[in-house]
Structure 1
Amino acid sequence: MTHPTVPKQLRLIIETDDFDEALRFYRDILGMPEQAAFATAGDDRVAILHAGVATIELATRVHARNIDAVEGIPPESGSPLRLALEVEDTVAAVARVVDDGVIVLAPPTRTPFRSLNARVQGPAGWQLTFFQELESLDQRRMRPGFLTDGERDRSPEP
């Protein structure tokens, strides 16, 4: 029997004052298909967009600032919540949103995490990181520094 509290879906709710712009960006520009959702009338609007597989990345402030530094984001201009979207081609994803007038905060950059990352300013104040994995998880696990938190706790100090 599966555990009754294991999540089946992660749903991130972005409250926005410009629903049409946010919907256009996420659905039409980023290509997230819309699912049917219930709302009443007038300004009671909701759109549920499929964004692929969801994970939650927990990071200490130190690690988040390290990611900001790797991506070229000035200190303290990051956000405590941001979206990170895995894409097939980071350069193409950035080009698509730039064509739509989105501000690039950090251009595509190879990271020590073995990904190609870029950060843009999305609607409703959310920052988005596009990331393209450059290695498989199995390849990455063979490299120094790539451990789970539990493995890191058990490993000897360098």
Structure 2
Amino acid sequence: MPVRQLRLVVTADDYDAAVRFYRDVLGMAEREAVQPPRGRVMILDAGAATLELAEPATAAYIDEVEVGRRVSGHIRVAFEVDDVRGDTEALREAGGEVLAEPRRTPFNSTNARVEGPAGLQLTLFEMN
């Protein structure tokens, strides 16, 4: 049973703000927009998808490295970007709450943590 696509579905109370944040600021291209009988749905292209599974102790360690304390729930989304510093600032200007400024990590990357619309925690990372 091969999986063909990973699709993360996020329910956003402020749909328009979420579209602006993820599509217009973060730069995720619109693949499809649908208007079912109630509400709206937009599918954004996030590039290649992977599913990262971590034990609770590992998740706590990653939070400590990126933010300095335990802050994430059981789901956090990580986006590889080309300019973690510039993208973090752009997301801040778009209303994202920056939980941790970009910092070098033991994972050979520079990571930042932002809380976006719908309470979704994002790690932005740039490989060094």
**TM-score normalized by the length of structure 1:** 0.76
CA displacement, residues 70-100 of structure 1 (integer Å, 9 cap, x when unaligned): 012423x212101100001111111111222
* Pair 1:73–1:79, CA change in 2 (3 A): farther
User: Unmatched 5+ residue regions in structure 1?
Assistant: 135-158
Aligned to 1:124: 118
Q: Select the structure that is richer in strand.
A: 2
**TM-score normalized by the length of structure 2:** 0.93
CA displacement, residues 89-126 of structure 1 (integer Å, 9 cap, x when unaligned): 11111111122232110111111111110001100011
**Is the 8 Å Cα contact of residues 83 and 128 (structure 1) preserved in structure 2?**
yes
User: Unmatched 5+ residue regions in structure 2?
Assistant: none
Q: Quick one: distance in 2 between partners of 1:73 and 1:57? A: 21
Aligned to 1:64: 59
Moved over 2 A (4+): 36-41, 72-75
Count residues in correspondence.
128
Which of 8, 12, 20 is the aligned partner of 2:8? Answer: 12
**More RCO (CA 8 Å, sep 6+):** 2
One-letter code aligned to 2:12: T
Aligned to 1:115: 109
One-letter code aligned to 2:87: A
Indicate the SS of the match to 2:51. coil
**Is the 8 Å Cα contact of residues 95 and 116 (structure 2) preserved in structure 1?**
no
Which of 28, 33, 39 is the aligned partner of 2:29? Answer: 33
Q: Quick one: distance in 2 between partners of 1:105 and 1:82? A: 13
State which drifts further: 104-113 or 30-39.
30-39
RMSD across aligned C-alpha pairs, in angstroms?
A: 1.3
Q: Quick one: distance in 1 between partners of 2:62 and 2:124? A: 13
* Pair 1:106–1:62, CA change in 2 (3 A): same
Indicate the SS of the match to 2:41. coil
Q: Quick one: distance in 2 between partners of 1:132 and 1:123? A: 22
